[in-house]
């Protein structure tokens, strides 16, 4: 249900450590590329934080 205005959802963060990071996506272009990044454990470079 994605559209040009974004997704119809929101998150409430009630508590977290001060150095916590939220990961909300990735920069992989395809599902295959994402799987390869995860398998190589190099996906952290492609995460949207």
Spans of all domains in the chain: 20-49
Per-residue pLDDT at 19: 92
DSSP β-bridge partners for residue 48: 25
6 Cβ contact list (under 8 Å, min separation 6): none
Q: Which two tokens stand for residue 33?
A: 């590329």
Contact 40, 16 (CB under 8 A): no
Q: What average pLDDT score do residues 19-44 get?
A: 84
Q: Examine the pLDDT at 33 and tell me if it is beyond 80.
A: yes
Q: Examine the pLDDT at 2 and tell me if it is beyond 60.
A: no
34 Cβ contact list (under 8 Å, min separation 6): 26, 28, 43, 46
Q: Which two tokens stand for residue 20?
A: 């916590």
Q: What is the pTM of this model?
A: 0.47
Distance between CA atoms of 8 and 19, rounded to whole angstroms? 28
């Amino acid at each position: 249900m994605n559209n040009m205005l974004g997704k119809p959802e929101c998150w409430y963060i009630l508590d977290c450590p001060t150095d916590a990071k939220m990961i909300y996506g990735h920069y992989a272009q395809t599902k295959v590329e994402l799987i390869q990044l995860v398998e190589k454990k190099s996906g952290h470079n492609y995460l949207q934080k």
